[in-house]
Amino acid sequence: MSHLTYAEAMVIGLIQGVTELFPVSSLGHSVLIPALVGGSWAQDLSVSRPESPYLAFIVGLHVATAAALIIYFRHDWARIVTGFVSSLRDRTIATAEQKLAWMIVLATIPVGLAGLALEHTFRVVFSKPVPTALFLAVNGVILLAGERARRRSGEHGAAQQPAMAAPATPQRAITAAGYPAQSPGRYPASPLSGLRQQPVEQSADSPETAEDGRLAGMGFGKAIVIGAVQVFALLPGISRDGMVTVTGMFRGLSREDAVRYSFLLSTPVILAAGVLKIPDLFGPLGAGIHGQVLAGSLLSGLAAYFSVRFLVRYFSKARSLVPFAIYCLIAGLGSLAWFAIR
C-alpha cells in the first residue's frame, strides 16, 4: 500500500511553495517530479490516482500557500476587504478599493465554476507525465509571447505611462462614474449596475492607493477577461500566475501591475481549492499522514512567502519573464526527452 514519507512531503512542500507563485506551474511540478524520480515516489505521489494520499497532502499545501499570500499582502487585503464591506453597506462604489474588491470577486467566478465542474476530469485525463511536460513547454511559449508583445507595445512608453497618469489627466475620457472610459463594444457592461458608482476617491500621497487606482481603472470587463484565463491553469503545466500576467500585459497593464493583480486573484482561488477539500484530510485519504502534511505545509508556506517577496521586488525593477519561459521550455522538453528514452 502506497504512503507518503516525510522526505517526500518536505521536498514537494518546498517545491510547491515556490512554483505556485513563480509562473512555472506548481501542478505541473507536482506531476513531473515524482514521475522523473520514479520508484516509490511515482507510486506515492500520483495526482491522477483517485485514492492517493497525495491529494489530501496537496490540500494542506494550498492552504499554507494562500496563508503566505494573505500575510504578505495583509495591508492590501485589509483595504480590499474593508472596501468590499463598505460597498455592500452603502450600496455604492466610490473608492478604488471598493471597485478592486468587486473586480476580484467577479474575476474569480469563472475559474471557480470551471474548477467545480472540470477539476476531476482535467486531473484524471491530463495529469499524466507526458501531457504535463508538453503543457509546461507550452507555458514557456506563452510567457515568451507575452514578453514579446510587451516589448513591441513599448510598455515604458505608450502602455505604462497613461496607466500611471490616468487619475490626474483631465484630457482622458471619463465616465459619469468617474472611471476611465472603455472602448465601446470591447468589454461587457458592468455587472454591478445596481450599485451607485461615484467618482473614485484617490490620494496622490499614497502609493498603495495609486496601485489600487491603476488596477481599478482597467474596468470590470477587462478584469473579468483577465481573471477568466485562470481556467487554463486547470491543465497541469500551465501557470495561473503566468496566464494572468501575460493576459494583463496584452490588455495594457504594466508588467508590475499585471503581476500584482495575478497574486491578488490567486489568493482566493488557492484558498478555496484548499478549504473545499479540507474534509479529505480528516477522512480515509488523510489517515496516517497528518504529520507529513504539517511538515510539508510549513515548508510550503515559508517558501511561498519568500517567493512572493522576491517576485514583487524582481518585477518592480522591470525584470523580464524570459528566464521563467526558458526554464519551462527546458524542463518541459527535457522531461519529454527523458520519458521517451527511459
156-170: pLDDT as tens digits: 444 344 433 333 333
Segment 302-328 mean pLDDT: 93
Closest to 62 measured CA to CA, from 333, 297, 337: 297
Taking only the tens place, the pLDDT of each residue in 132-148 is 999 999 999 999 998 88
pLDDT at site 50: 62
Instruction: Give the range with max mean pLDDT: 135-139, 180-184, 229-233.
Output: 135-139
The C-alpha cell at 257 is 501591475
Give me the percent of the chain exceeding a pLDDT of 90.
49
The alpha carbon torsion through 208, 211, 217, 223 (nearest 10 deg) reads -110
Instruction: With a cut of 60, say whether residue 189 has pLDDT above it.
Output: no
pLDDT at site 12: 93
pLDDT at site 204: 46
Helix, strand, coil percentages in the chain from 3-state DSSP, rounded to 5: 75, 5, 25
AA letter at 302 = L
Looking at residue 178, what DSSP letter applies?
A: S
Are the C-beta atoms of residues 239 and 259 closer than 8 Å to each other? no
Q: pTM surpassing 0.85?
A: no
Q: How confident is the model at residue 206 (pLDDT cuts 50, 70, 90)?
A: low
Alpha helices for 127-239 (secondary structure H): 129-153, 160-165, 207-216, 220-228
Q: How much is the CA Rg of the chain, to the nearest whole Å?
A: 21
Segment 167-195 mean pLDDT: 42
SS3 state of residue 4? coil
pLDDT at site 18: 93
Look at 180 and 310; give whichever has higher pLDDT.
Answer: 310
Are the C-beta atoms of residues 92 and 197 closer than 8 Å to each other? yes
pLDDT at site 191: 52
Average pLDDT along the chain: 82
Are the C-beta atoms of residues 281 and 4 closer than 8 Å to each other? no
Taking only the tens place, the pLDDT of each residue in 26-40 is 989 989 999 999 888
Residue 168 host element (H or E):
none
Instruction: Sort strands 92-95 and 196-201 into parallel, antiparallel or unpaired.
Output: parallel
Distances (CA, A) of 106 to 142, 199, 222, 319: 24, 21, 11, 30
When mean pLDDT is compared across 49-53, 71-75, 261-265, the lowest value belongs to: 49-53
pLDDT at site 57: 85
Are the C-beta atoms of residues 294 and 288 closer than 8 Å to each other? no
pLDDT at site 329: 97
Instruction: With a cut of 60, say whether residue 99 has pLDDT above it.
Output: yes
Strand partners, 197: 93
Segment 246-275 mean pLDDT: 90
Instruction: With a cut of 60, say whether residue 176 has pLDDT above it.
Output: no
